[in-house]
């Protein structure tokens, strides 16, 4: 048990003043603006929005500046801010098929309706440090046609499992982990909500583990797309949905190991990732982990960490994780003294040749 | 488990908005205003002469909208995360009520959208605002087309090489 401490107010106030000075850096160098961060450190902003679970680029940029670039601290700030706001409602489900495409690739289908476009990618760069970044005007070309989701194109052949076996599911009210406690077994919609806000590093490591053999499911990238979608909200007073604006999303459709049985022909299964911003690595990892967590549903043995829902979801939130790990640095004097006294007594008993206290096998305090 | 062939109804888009032309045009105006740059909206309101006489019914205020996606893109809904949204409701002295909703935390912008929504319902300003909306739509379409042209130039065609051994 944690025993509270008090005092230290003057030291804490002075530490925060020192933090402010160090955060500002050399006063001879102009101060960073939130606008610069939002415009030039876009992917940091996107990560904070995704894991902060709050789409607001300007707010994320302010948080990054305040956190001195510590993204988990910035995510924490965004999560704290969100708790001060009322919930106005839930949007209509965004239509990723109608996305204004910024990037769209498939590792499985060469000739897609609407084409494959690399967009502003780091892929195929040489990863050489460039101290002076130039920016030539980008090339232009005639716009491409509509880009349906690859899974919809393939779905018509029956090669991959459809989005919803039960059409009634399309109108189901999804669970919300910000309103209800997480109790396993979780439905897939709640797992996806948790994964969408989960830590990128955690999901990346788990996704990698499935590729290395811990719950292998033989993935292909059916499609990755990034771009802007419109957000719509039903406003009861108006009686029709209103457009709220656009948001950039990244969607990953993973096409995986196929299944078949006596009753049904073999079919590819799927994993899905959808993340705020241009967080492609995370969207891919999310899709792999989503697929791994479907092991039970698809009749696979749950043998690997990435297939263990309680393990994956309970440890995916980096604000919770950092809170519990970092609380260890707070004063634990009383807990430690209690344990130190116990160790001293056991050592004294051992030195005296007595059997160590069998009845005192007390659990360490948390 | 059964996995039937895809049902076309299951992947059809959400039902179209009500066919009432007044609703459709109001919905289109609100969309134009939400997708326009903030300064375009404020300039349109600023050009209304005389300045409208109104009361604020609600807000302006900032809140959260839960953003929903669909599993697999077209399946059951799930909560993907929230977005900040500013909203405002106003009522003109002549009785028209206007609603403003826009992503972000800009209350001034939400209130300006609400005022333009209300003013567009008056005979005196309907045409002015409709003309401004056409200009905003044209500007947005040009921005989107310019970006789409830059993206289109990154179109890729990979060739598969013949494998060496078999």
Does residue A74 contact residue A59 with C-beta atoms inside 8 Å? no
The pLDDT value recorded for residue B132 is 97
Q: Is residue A106 part of a domain?
A: yes
Give the gap in angstroms from C-alpha B44 to the nearest C-alpha of chain A: 18
Range A325-353 average pLDDT = 91
User: Residue A103: which domain range?
Assistant: 96-120+144-164+174-317
A90 → closest Cβ in B68, B74, B149: B68
Mutation target among A78, A93, A117 for the B interface, most CBs of B within 10 A: A93
User: Are the Cβ atoms of B85 and A59 closer than 8 angstroms?
Assistant: no
The pLDDT value recorded for residue A2 is 67
* Enclosing H/E stretch for A309: helix A309-314
* Closest to A254 in 3D by CA, of A268, A235, A233: A268
Q: Are A250 and A180 in a shared domain?
A: yes
The pLDDT value recorded for residue A87 is 97
Check CB contact of B142 with chain A, cutoff 8 Å.
Answer: no
Residue carrying structure tokens 């797992």 = A191
Dmax (CA) for chain B in angstroms is 82
> What are the extents of the domains in chain B?
21-135
Q: With pLDDT > 90 as the criterion, what percentage of chain A qualifies?
A: 73
Give CA–CA dist A44/A38, Å, rounded.
9
Q: Are A276 and A158 in a shared domain?
A: yes
What digits encode the pLDDT tens for the residues A123-134?
999 999 998 888
- What DSSP letter does each residue of A131-184 carry, written as one string? SS---PPPP--PPP-----HHHHHHTTT-B--S-SSGGGGGPPPP-TTTS---S
Does residue B58 contact residue B73 with C-beta atoms inside 8 Å? no
Q: Is residue A334 part of a domain?
A: no
Does residue B63 contact residue B105 with C-beta atoms inside 8 Å? no
pLDDT over 60 (residue A278)? yes
Beta strands in chain A (DSSP E): 54-55, 87-90, 100-105, 220-235, 240-259, 267-276
Give CA–CA dist B35/A307, Å, rounded.
41
Q: Is residue A364 part of a domain?
A: no
Within 8 A of B113 by CB-CB distance, chain A residues are: none
The pLDDT value recorded for residue A322 is 96
* Closest to A363 in 3D by CA, of A332, A339, A341, A336: A339
The pLDDT value recorded for residue B157 is 83
The pLDDT value recorded for residue A150 is 87
Q: Is residue A160 part of a domain?
A: yes
Domain count, chain A: 2
> Picking from A106-110, A166-170, B27-31, which range would have the lowest pLDDT averaged per residue?
A166-170
The pLDDT value recorded for residue B6 is 43
The pLDDT value recorded for residue B164 is 63
Give CA–CA dist A101/A226, Å, rounded.
6
The pLDDT value recorded for residue A364 is 47
User: Are the Cβ atoms of B104 and A97 closer than 8 angstroms?
Assistant: no
* A258 token code pair: 């196929």
Coil vs helix vs strand at A347:
helix
Q: In chain B, which stretches have pLDDT less than 50?
A: 1-13
Does residue B81 contact residue A47 with C-beta atoms inside 8 Å? no
Q: Is residue A285 part of a domain?
A: yes
* A107 token code pair: 């590792």
* B85 token code pair: 């949204």
Q: Is the dihedral of CA B29, B31, B33, B36 positive or negative?
A: negative
Q: Are A30 and A108 in a shared domain?
A: no
List of residues 6+ apart from B108 with CB closer than 8 A? B38, B42, B60
Check CB contact of A270 with chain B, cutoff 8 Å.
Answer: yes
The pLDDT value recorded for residue B1 is 37
List of residues 6+ apart from A269 with CB closer than 8 A? A160, A161, A217, A255, A256, A257, A258, A259, A291, A294, A298
The pLDDT value recorded for residue A163 is 83
Q: Are A42 and A151 in a shared domain?
A: no
Q: Are A191 and A54 in a shared domain?
A: no
* Closest to A317 in 3D by CA, of A196, A215, A206: A196
The pLDDT value recorded for residue A265 is 78
* Residue A298 banded pLDDT, cuts 50, 70, 90: confident
Strand order in the sheet with A100-105: A100-105, A220-235, A240-259, A267-276
User: Are the Cβ atoms of B68 and A188 closer than 8 angstroms?
Assistant: no
Interface of B with A in 3-22 (CB under 8 A): 3-7, 9-11, 13-14, 17-18
Range A239-258 average pLDDT = 94
Please give the residue of chain A at the shortest CA–CA distance from B146: A140
What digits encode the pLDDT tens for the residues A28-63?
999 999 999 999 999 999 999 999 999 999 999 999
The pLDDT value recorded for residue A365 is 44
| Buried-exposed string A217-244: b where 16+ CB fall within 10 A, e elsewhere | bebebbbbbbbbbbbbbebeebeebbbb
Q: Is residue A1 part of a domain?
A: no
User: Are the Cβ atoms of A144 and B152 closer than 8 angstroms?
Assistant: yes
Residue B73's CB: how many other CB atoms inside 10 A? 26
* B95 token code pair: 């009785």
The pLDDT value recorded for residue A1 is 62
The pLDDT value recorded for residue A234 is 97
Range A250-263 average pLDDT = 84
The pLDDT value recorded for residue A232 is 98
Give CA–CA dist A366/A338, Å, rounded.
12
Q: Are A30 and A104 in a shared domain?
A: no
Q: Is residue A345 part of a domain?
A: no
What digits encode the pLDDT tens for the residues A300-317?
889 999 999 999 999 999
Range A259-269 average pLDDT = 77
């Amino acid at each position: 048990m944690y025993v509270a401490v008090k005092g230290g107010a003057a030291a804490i106030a002075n530490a925060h003043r020192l933090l402010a000075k160090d955060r500002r850096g050399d006063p001879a160098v102009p101060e960073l603006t939130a606008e610069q961060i939002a415009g030039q450190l876009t992917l940091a902003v996107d990560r904070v929005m995704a894991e902060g679970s709050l789409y607001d680029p300007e707010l994320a940029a302010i948080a990054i500046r305040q956190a001195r670039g510590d993204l988990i601290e910035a995510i924490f700030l965004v999560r704290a801010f969100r708790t001060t706001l009322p919930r106005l409602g839930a949007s209509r489900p965004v239509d990723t098929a109608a996305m204004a495409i910024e990037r769209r690739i498939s590792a499985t289908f060469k000739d897609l309706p609407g084409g494959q476009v690399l967009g502003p990618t780091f892929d195929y760069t040489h990863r050489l440090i460039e101290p002076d970044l130039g920016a030539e005007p980008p090339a232009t070309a005639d716009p491409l046609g509509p880009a349906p989701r690859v899974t919809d194109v393939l779905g018509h052949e029956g090669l991959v499992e459809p989005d919803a076996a039960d059409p009634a599911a399309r109108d189901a009210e999804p669970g919300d982990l910000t309103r209800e406690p997480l109790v396993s077994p979780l439905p897939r919609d709640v797992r996806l909500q948790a994964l969408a806000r989960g830590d990128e590093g955690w999901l990346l490591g788990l996704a990698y583990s499935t590729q290395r053999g811990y719950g292998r499911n033989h993935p292909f990238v059916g499609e990755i797309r990034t771009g802007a979608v419109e957000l719509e909200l039903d406003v009861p007073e108006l009686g029709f949905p209103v457009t709220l604006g656009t948001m950039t999303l990244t969607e990953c459709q993973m096409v995986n190991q196929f299944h078949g049985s006596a009753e049904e022909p073999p079919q590819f299964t799927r994993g899905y990732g959808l993340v705020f911003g241009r967080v492609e690595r995370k969207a891919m990892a999310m899709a792999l982990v989503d697929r791994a967590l479907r092991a039970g549903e698809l009749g696979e043995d749950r043998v690997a960490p990435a297939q263990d829902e309680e393990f994956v979801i309970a440890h995916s939130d980096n604000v919770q994780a950092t809170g519990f790990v970092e609380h260890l640095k707070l004063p634990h004097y009383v807990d430690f003294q209690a344990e130190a006294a116990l160790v001293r007594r056991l050592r004294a008993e051992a030195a005296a040749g007595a059997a160590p206290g069998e009845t005192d096998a007390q659990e360490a305090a948390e | 488990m059964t996995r039937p062939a895809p049902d076309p109804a299951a992947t059809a888009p959400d039902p179209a908005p009500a066919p009432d032309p007044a609703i459709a045009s109001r919905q289109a105006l609100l969309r134009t205003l939400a997708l326009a740059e903030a300064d375009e909206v404020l300039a349109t309101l600023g050009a209304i002469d005389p300045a409208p006489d109104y009361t604020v019914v609600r807000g302006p205020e900032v809140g959260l909208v839960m953003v929903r996606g669909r599993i697999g893109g077209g399946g059951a809904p799930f909560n993907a995360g929230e977005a900040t949204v500013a909203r405002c409701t106003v009522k003109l002295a002549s009785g028209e009520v206007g609603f403003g909703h826009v992503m972000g935390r800009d209350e001034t912008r939400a209130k300006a959208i609400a005022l333009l929504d209300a003013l567009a319902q008056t005979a005196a300003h309907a045409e002015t605002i409709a003309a401004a909306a056409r200009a905003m739509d044209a500007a947005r379409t040009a921005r989107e087309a310019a970006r789409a042209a830059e993206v289109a130039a990154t179109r890729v065609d990979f060739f598969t090489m013949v494998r060496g051994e078999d």
